[in-house]
Copies of this chain bind each other. A is one copy, B any other.
Amino acid sequence: MNALENLIRQLSRLPGVGAKSATRMAYHLLKCDESYNEKLSDAIGTIKEKIHKCSVCGSYTETDPCELCSDPKRDHTLLCIVEQPQDVMTIQNSGIYNGMYHVLGGAIDPLNGVGPEDLSFRELRERIKNGSFSEVIIATNPTEEGDTTALYIRHVLQDTGITVSRLAAGLPIGGDLEYADRLTLARSIKGRVSF
């Protein structure tokens, strides 16, 4: 296997990249500016040294605690619980949330052997006990595993007196009723809001 075939092979292991896209990328890298190759190679090679999990919320960060956890301007009485570190970025990008985060590191999924003990529930209990949270927003995915995890979180929080809410499920904005799947439509009818 020569260097070009090796590069294509390594690129095609990235998520969402097939053989054709990997080939296109490889030829692009051969043609483009040398300095870009160096920057990209360096960014990939050093990412694991530079980025770690925040010891408070569990999201990825360069500093510890992360910028969000150590920002006094954010609302430290509001906690949003998500499955993955990238969910923090997604919610941050929406621009509507100004509280704290807690990353579970996944969802409860008994079929794949993931139980509550494999997720950061111990840390969650600690934070709830020592923190001053008045509301928790559950932002697990609207999937079976996310639903199970949401139920478990509610169970964990039941005697704390903290208000618990969950992200609304329903039709995506800009979507078309005709193209909505059966389950989403059922959820949006069941969860209809007064108007």
Task: Mark A residues whose CB is within 8 Å of B.
Answer: 2-4, 6-7, 10-11, 13-17, 21, 23-30, 34, 36-48, 50-51, 60-62, 84-86, 89
Contact = CB atoms under 8 A, between A and B. Distances in A.
A66 to B, nearest CB: 10
Count of identical protomers in the assembly:
2
Contact of A11 (B27, B34, B40): B40
A14 B44 CA distance: 13
A25 B13 CA distance: 10
A39 B10 contact: yes
A25 to B, nearest CB: 5
Contacts of A23: 86, 89
Given A21-B16, A62-B3, A10 B48 contact: no
A16 B39 CA distance: 18
Given A28-B15, A60-B4, A43 B85 contact: no
A27 B62 contact: no
A28 to B, nearest CB: 5
B10 A28 contact: no
A11 B25 CA distance: 10
Given A3-B50, A60-B4, A86-B23, A37 B44 contact: yes
Given A4-B60, A15-B24, 16 more contacts: A2-B50, A2-B61, A4-B50, A6-B43, A7-B47, A10-B40, A11-B43, A16-B21, A16-B25, A24-B86, A27-B60, A27-B85, A30-B85, A34-B48, A40-B44, A42-B45
